[in-house]
Structure 1
Amino acid sequence: MTTSFMSLTWTDHVTGQRGFLVVDRLVRGVSSGGLRMRPGCTLDEVAGLARGMTMKEALHYDPKGRYIPLGGAKGGIDCDPRHPKAYGVLVRYLRAMRPYIEAFWTTGEDLGLTQDLVDRAAAEAGLVSTIQAVYPLLDDEQTARRRLTDAFQVQVDGIGLDELVGGCGVAESVLTALDRAGVPYTGTRVAVQGLGTMGGATARFLARAGLTIVAVADIKGTLTNPAGLDVEALLAARDPFGTVDRSVLRPDDHESPGDTWLATDVDVLVPAAVSYTIDTANQRHITARLIVEAANMPVLPKAEELLAARGVTVLPDVVVNSATNAWWWWTLFGDIGPTADEAFAHTRRSMRALVDLMLARAEADGTTPRAAAHGVVADRLPVIAERFGWYR
């Protein structure tokens, strides 16, 4: 990748906490990428995520679609979202970033933040919307905004549609890989790290497809049951940060230290929490043959090399967790209506086609799925640039 369009560091004058914004690319003058809040967040991390967003946008380019990919960007704040002063930091960050959000950065929830919280802070910071930069690209702004607002009101079995579409995409990635390998869903064992927005929805969709969720990790530890955890009970007992109330555990459920999920005897491992989770040291404990990156950048490059050498397949984040971002734009631009049925059907169809394309290319080229995904992006970016221009 070439140099980013823009990179900046902000310091909160009240707390001294730092925040970052990296705009990797502008396409049609606009970029897209969420805002995360976590202790230890760095500019390099945000830059990597922004590059990933450029890829996610390009991967979902459909010349026949109304949704036309944007550029990639990302925001990050080095702060514990549970800290009493975190909301004030968020408001001041958004107030400082207001000129960029109004002009060319569309953003939303990411690790540590919910969309409701981001929207509330954005309103306090004087913003019309965190995606207002895209409004000039819409044919009918009022209708498009109403469609997205309606979609955000939809709930499915107690969970908002906006929380579910990402997990639907991750689950479909898993199912597509299993189908290509001829592995039945029944009897396939899964461990999920993180039961927040992405991990929780992924666990639900995989359990409903017939897979067995035998381990779930949150900030307090790892919950296990070889016969399968009660996913719906765990989801209902989460706090806003994805931490499970242990009082709902059944007698045959067990709790162990937080990193136990890595070494659990499973077929599929889904890291769905923080970045840089799997490194060269702990990768040796992994017994799963398939790792599906629901989180952003959870597997370090050197660890992925070691995993590939022993036959472990890693499905990369830029493909696997791209459905949430795409769903916003499919809905806003009008490729789908504001219903769960349309959202899930379009997500499943698009993700299955994308994962199939990636895995077929990896097999043909004798390379990894990540390298294959990068190849698809390299093919599509010039096509997008030729059609719409490319601003840096």
Structure 2
Amino acid sequence: MREPYLQVTWTDPVTGCHGYLVIDRLVRGVSSGGLRMRAGCTLDEVRGLAAGVSVKEALNYDPTGRYIPLGGAKGGIDWDPYDPRATDVLRRYLTAMRPYVERFWTMGEDLGLRQSTIDKVLAELGFSSSIQAVYPLLDDERAARARLRKAFQVRVGGLKLEDLVGGCGVAEAALTALDRLHLPVGEVRAFVQGFGAVGGSTARFLSEAGVRVVGIADVKGIVANQDGLDVERLLRGRDSHGVADRDDLAPGDHLLPGDQWLDVDAEVLVPAAVSYAVDERNVDQVRSRVVVEAANMPVLPEAERRLVQRGTLVIPDVVANSASNTWSWWTLFGDVQPDSESAFAKIRSTTRRLVTAVLDEADRAAITPRAAAARIADLAVRDIDAKFGSAA
């Protein structure tokens, strides 16, 4: 396995908790990847996620586009984001990581952290932006930043565009898989584990497409209804941590314990909450025809192999949720305009093309979709390196 370009372990001088940064590779001197906070986060976890971002970036390489994919990176803090000291821990972590954020690492929200929280702390510390490392690559920094700022102000159906783009891609990945299996959307049920930005918006887009969303899971448990949930109602009552309002459920909705998330019958399963959700212990409980990885690394490799062997289509995270990462770059570099129509059109066409290419390669080579995605990404990396110099 290729060694990452850089990995850093930080110890918080106040709490003693650890934080990590892994830069898997640099392209044109810059890497991209989010910062997560969760109790139990490890260096190996962050390292795997950083490698995944490298693949995700490379898969979106378009030789005709303005945006040239960056290298992959990831940050992680082993701390409970619900702890009242979480913001102070984040502040000390970002202070320690300042040289990397300023020059090499463009970062944003991930599991347990909201972009607004990160931006607030960075502003207090005097950072220009969480993505300031990429500014030297822009042709017109002022115009690019204005374009992205405008995009961040766009709302669609009461939700921010930035919170919808990831779910748009995940839903399109699911719809592409359903087309491949010749399953009519009107006859399909979906379960979404996780109801944050990506999980919630995935549920919205699937519902709008005609898929019956029969269950969602959040940290408090499961809301289920085999006749279909009122997704918009649940979104209106969702709090900032992605928890649905249990006091405003629709008739027919019922609650289940969180550990029964694999017991809800659905043709499409979207793990959108945590890493390592499906492993060798529970993989046999997965009965869905399609698994679409909205979270980062939610299905462990051996579990994925077993699902594929029995005919389940598994759309890997590096494909399914790549729009969460690339939309802002497309906007910044000018490949899409700062509006929802341009963003959704680009996300849908790119996702459908990528899912089709990955599944075709997986069938041709008799390998898992994740391995197929890695092969396609390797070819893109070679092309990038040939045109822009070798990347670390």
SS, match of residue 173 in structure 2: helix
**2:165/2:327 contact within 8 Å kept:** yes
Q: Which residue of 1 aligns with 2:48?
A: 48
For 2:324 and 2:309, locate their aligned partners in 1 and report how far apart those are by CA, in whole Å.
31
For 2:126 and 2:81, locate their aligned partners in 1 and report how far apart those are by CA, in whole Å.
21
CA positional deviation for 1:310: 2.0
SS, match of residue 246 in structure 1: coil
Moved more, 304-313 or 86-95: 304-313
User: What does the per-residue CA deviation read over 1:52-93, in whole Å, with 9 as the maximum and x for residues that have no partner?
Assistant: 010011000000000001100000111111110001111111
Q: TM-score, normalised by structure 2?
A: 0.98
CA positional deviation for 1:238: 1.0
Q: Which residue of 2 aligns with 1:100?
A: 100
Q: Which residue of 1 aligns with 2:345?
A: 345
For 1:106 and 1:245, locate their aligned partners in 2 and report how far apart those are by CA, in whole Å.
34
Q: Which residue of 1 aligns with 2:64?
A: 64
For 1:155 and 1:15, locate their aligned partners in 2 and report how far apart those are by CA, in whole Å.
39
User: What does the per-residue CA deviation read over 1:223-246, in whole Å, with 9 as the maximum and x for residues that have no partner?
Assistant: 110100110111111111101110
SS, match of residue 239 in structure 1: coil
**2:46/2:76 contact within 8 Å kept:** yes
SS, match of residue 245 in structure 1: coil
For 1:251 and 1:206, locate their aligned partners in 2 and report how far apart those are by CA, in whole Å.
21
**1:194/1:200 contact within 8 Å kept:** yes
SS, match of residue 99 in structure 1: helix
Q: In structure 2, what residue type is equivalent to 1:222?
A: I
Q: Which residue of 2 aligns with 1:149?
A: 149
User: What does the per-residue CA deviation read over 1:27-65, in whole Å, with 9 as the maximum and x for residues that have no partner?
Assistant: 000000011111111110000000001001100000000
For 1:252 and 1:294, locate their aligned partners in 2 and report how far apart those are by CA, in whole Å.
27
For 1:264 and 1:208, locate their aligned partners in 2 and report how far apart those are by CA, in whole Å.
21
CA positional deviation for 1:147: 0.5
User: What does the per-residue CA deviation read over 1:209-258, in whole Å, with 9 as the maximum and x for residues that have no partner?
Assistant: 00000010111111110100110111111111101110111231111110
Q: In structure 2, what residue type is equivalent to 1:17?
A: C
Q: Which residue of 2 aligns with 1:333?
A: 333
Moved more, 49-58 or 367-376: 367-376
User: What does the per-residue CA deviation read over 1:257-282, in whole Å, with 9 as the maximum and x for residues that have no partner?
Assistant: 10222121110100000000011111
**1:294/1:320 contact within 8 Å kept:** yes
For 1:251 and 1:228, locate their aligned partners in 2 and report how far apart those are by CA, in whole Å.
11
RMSD over equivalenced CA pairs, Å: 0.9
Matches within 5 A, 1:130-149: 130-149=130-149
CA positional deviation for 1:366: 2.3
Q: Which residue of 2 aligns with 1:322?
A: 322
Matches within 5 A, 1:101-120: 101-120=101-120
Seq. identity, %: 59
**1:31/1:106 contact within 8 Å kept:** yes
**1:215/1:224 contact within 8 Å kept:** yes
**2:305/2:368 contact within 8 Å kept:** no
**1:34/1:110 contact within 8 Å kept:** yes
1:377 maps onto 2:377 in alignment: yes
Moved more, 173-182 or 48-57: 173-182
Q: In structure 1, what residue type is equivalent to 2:381?
A: L
SS, match of residue 247 in structure 2: helix
For 1:130 and 1:298, locate their aligned partners in 2 and report how far apart those are by CA, in whole Å.
26
**1:166/1:322 contact within 8 Å kept:** yes
For 1:126 and 1:45, locate their aligned partners in 2 and report how far apart those are by CA, in whole Å.
29
CA positional deviation for 1:287: 1.1
**2:177/2:313 contact within 8 Å kept:** no
Q: In structure 2, what residue type is equivalent to 1:119?
A: D
CA positional deviation for 1:380: 1.2
User: What does the per-residue CA deviation read over 1:98-144, in whole Å, with 9 as the maximum and x for residues that have no partner?
Assistant: 11011110000111111111110111122110100000000000000
State the 4+ residue runs in structure 1 displaced beyond 3 angstroms. Answer: none
For 1:34 and 1:250, locate their aligned partners in 2 and report how far apart those are by CA, in whole Å.
35
Q: Which residue of 1 aligns with 2:159?
A: 159
Q: Which residue of 1 aligns with 2:274?
A: 274
Q: In structure 2, what residue type is equivalent to 1:3?
A: E
**1:167/1:205 contact within 8 Å kept:** yes
For 2:193 and 2:348, locate their aligned partners in 1 and report how far apart those are by CA, in whole Å.
22
Q: In structure 2, what residue type is equivalent to 1:42?
A: T
| Gaps in structure 1 of 5+ consecutive residues | none
For 2:234 and 2:114, locate their aligned partners in 1 and report how far apart those are by CA, in whole Å.
19
SS, match of residue 7 in structure 2: strand
| Gaps in structure 2 of 5+ consecutive residues | none
SS, match of residue 186 in structure 1: helix
Q: In structure 2, what residue type is equivalent to 1:317?
A: D
For 2:338 and 2:124, locate their aligned partners in 1 and report how far apart those are by CA, in whole Å.
27
Aligned residues: 392
CA positional deviation for 1:301: 1.1
For 1:284 and 1:332, locate their aligned partners in 2 and report how far apart those are by CA, in whole Å.
43
SS, match of residue 374 in structure 1: helix
Q: Which residue of 1 aligns with 2:26?
A: 26
SS, match of residue 291 in structure 1: strand
Matches within 5 A, 1:1-392: 1-392=1-392
